Amino acid sequence: MINVGVLGFGTVGSGVVEVIETNGKKIGKRIGEPLNVKYILDYKDFKGTPVENKIVHEFKTILEDPEIQIVVEVLGGIEPAYTYVKKSLLAGKSVVTSNKALVAAHGAELLSIAKDNNINFLFEASVGGGIPIIRALNTSLTADEIEEIDGILNGTTNYMLTKMEEDNAEYEDVLKEAQEKGYAERNPEADVMGYDACRKIAILSSLISGHQVDFEDIYCEGITEITKTDIDYAKKLGYKIKLVAVSKRHFGNHLHAIVAPFMVGKENPIFHVDGVMNAVVVRGNMLGDAMFYGAGAGKLPTASAVVGDIVDEAKNLHNNVMPMWKEETLILDDYASMRRKFFVRVKGTWEAMSKDLKDYFGKDIEPVFLDGRDDEFGFITPIIMEGDYETRSKVFKDVILNRIRVEFYD
């Protein structure tokens, strides 16, 4: 029998127990022996519920029980998760986590401890919920040099942008609706500012580069500045606006990474990823593009990924299967050197402005107009460096209403 201790009985923790209860027989067959949740650490008692006699209030009970081979950390946040996970690994217990903050901050160290102890530290659920992207990168796409990852990694913002587009609604209104439906937190900052997606692309960047990538180093822009009018321009141009997390390799092991709203065309498979769904496009130098699509969050999809990791660990109790990444931080390339097109919205008339704009952005730019709006227009720049866009746009800072990157990742 494989005995597991679950740290935290919140949404994901109760999902993990539900998955093991529902599919336990099949899971036991896959492992080769039964899987048993022996303890659940929570400060509440859950009196009168079926888990009542599994609840413990002291982490020590789990840590010191030699029968516990796998610890499942679903507390979220850095502390006490980090302390508990580290102690578990040092005690020779494999760990599964769904905690992106923990993995983004301490992944390298925890993977290294797991390796030293010939056990495993797995975290499939920390990126893309139910989408099995991490194991695919580690075990399926091993013949390829991964050149680029583009992901819709946050369901809340994707739901909001889809709603704005479909209902022709303003940001504030869809945020309110998303909060009412429970898709967005009361304090929505982590989602709408892009921080959540940023931690996830940092984890994927660490995996493909083999080095710690700090999420604080990734240029990150949320969706708070996106308006109904921007979406109207995008529609007119045949684009959708998506919050995309990009990690792109160039010149060997140099990485560009960015999280920002992008205008995405319908040739790109993520154009069709709407609502709360997530997707990750992986470009391999041999494989070409492959996309992984599914529920990026939610109790059961996330729990399914956690339990999938438990099965993997149970089958590899003393066999380290996860590649490490080095603790030395990879210095990302300056985002100012990334090249792409920008969609720019300008106050005024094309007639009055075109000569000056062409002087700075090239003679081939063409105006885009919205029906019934004669007080502004838009245009798309040629491919230029982010830094160049910044310096040039400063010249027009009094008349530029907004700018959105157009898919061309470099």
Active site (catalytic) residues:
200
For a copy of itself, the binding residue among 1, 10, 30, 116 (CB under 8 A) is 30
For a copy of itself, the binding residue among 63, 193, 291, 324 (CB under 8 A) is 291
For a copy of itself, the binding residue among 72, 310, 346, 406 (CB under 8 A) is 310
The answer to whether residues 155 and 278 touch, using CB atoms and an 8 Å cutoff, is yes
The answer to whether residues 297 and 185 touch, using CB atoms and an 8 Å cutoff, is no
- Tell me the window of 86-94, 124-132, 345-353, 402-410 that interacts with a copy of itself (CB under 8 A): 124-132
Question: Per CB under 8 A, which of residues 318..357 are in contact with a copy of itself?
Answer: 323
- For position 92 contacting a copy of itself by CB under 8 A, the verdict is no
Indicate the residue among 146 and 226 with the shorter CB distance to a copy of itself: 146
Token pair of 282, please?
Answer: 């992986």
For a copy of itself, the binding residue among 92, 298, 348, 387 (CB under 8 A) is 298
Question: Per CB under 8 A, which of residues 136..195 are in contact with a copy of itself?
Answer: 136, 139-145
- For position 27 contacting a copy of itself by CB under 8 A, the verdict is yes
- Tell me the window of 89-97, 135-143, 331-339, 376-384 that interacts with a copy of itself (CB under 8 A): 135-143
Closest by CA position to 249, among listed 222, 276, 290, 211:
211
Distances (CA, A) of 287 to 112, 137, 329: 30, 12, 28
Task: Measure the CA–CA gap between 173 and 181, rounded to whole angstroms.
Answer: 12
CB of residue 134 to a copy of itself, shortest distance in Å: 9
In three-state secondary structure terms, 202 is: helix
Closest by CA position to 284, among listed 407, 136, 141, 139:
141
Backbone angles phi, psi at 98, to 5 degrees: -110, 15
For a copy of itself, the binding residue among 242, 294, 377, 407 (CB under 8 A) is 294
For a copy of itself, the binding residue among 290, 317, 365, 370 (CB under 8 A) is 290
CB of residue 203 to a copy of itself, shortest distance in Å: 16
- For position 69 contacting a copy of itself by CB under 8 A, the verdict is no
H or E stretch at 402: strand 400-406
Tell me, what DSSP letter sits at residue 216?
Answer: G
Show Cβ contacts of residue 26 under 8 Å, excluding neighbours closer than 6 positions.
none
For a copy of itself, the binding residue among 148, 312, 313, 376 (CB under 8 A) is 312
- For position 23 contacting a copy of itself by CB under 8 A, the verdict is yes
In three-state secondary structure terms, 71 is: strand
Tell me, what DSSP letter sits at residue 125?
Answer: G
Show Cβ contacts of residue 18 under 8 Å, excluding neighbours closer than 6 positions.
299, 300, 303
CB of residue 142 to a copy of itself, shortest distance in Å: 4
Task: Measure the CA–CA gap between 183 and 295, rounded to whole angstroms.
Answer: 13
In three-state secondary structure terms, 361 is: helix
- For position 272 contacting a copy of itself by CB under 8 A, the verdict is yes
- For position 26 contacting a copy of itself by CB under 8 A, the verdict is yes
Q: Which residues of the shown chain bind a copy of itself in the complex (CB under 8 A)? A: 18-19, 22-23, 26-27, 30, 124, 130-132, 135-136, 139-145, 269, 272, 284-295, 298, 300-301, 303-308, 310-312, 323
